[in-house]
Amino acid sequence: MMDHEKIKQGVRLMLEGIGEDINREGLLETPDRIARMCEQIYGGLYEDPTVHLNKQFQAINNNIVIEKDITFYSVCEHHLLPFYGKAHVAYIPDSKVAGLSKLARTVEVFARRPQIQENMTAQIADALEKHLKPKGVMVMIEAEHMCMTMRGVQKPGSKTVTTIVRGVFAEDLSLQQTFLQMVK
Task: Indicate which residues carry an active-site annotation.
Answer: 76-79, 117, 145, 147
Whether 147 has a binding-site annotation, put simply, is yes
Which of 4, 32, 7, 27 minimizes the C-alpha distance to 15?
Answer: 27
> Is residue 79 marked as binding?
yes
The answer to whether 38 is a known ligand-binding residue is no
State how far the alpha carbon of 77 is from the alpha carbons of 47, 48, 112, 144, 147, in Å.
18, 20, 11, 15, 10
Yes or no: say if 34 and 12 are a contact pair by the CB < 8 Å rule.
Answer: no
Q: Is residue 41 a contact partner of residue 112, using CB atoms and an 8 Å limit?
A: yes
**Annotated binding residues for Zn(2+), as ranges?**
76, 79, 147
**Annotated binding residues, as ranges?**
76, 79, 147
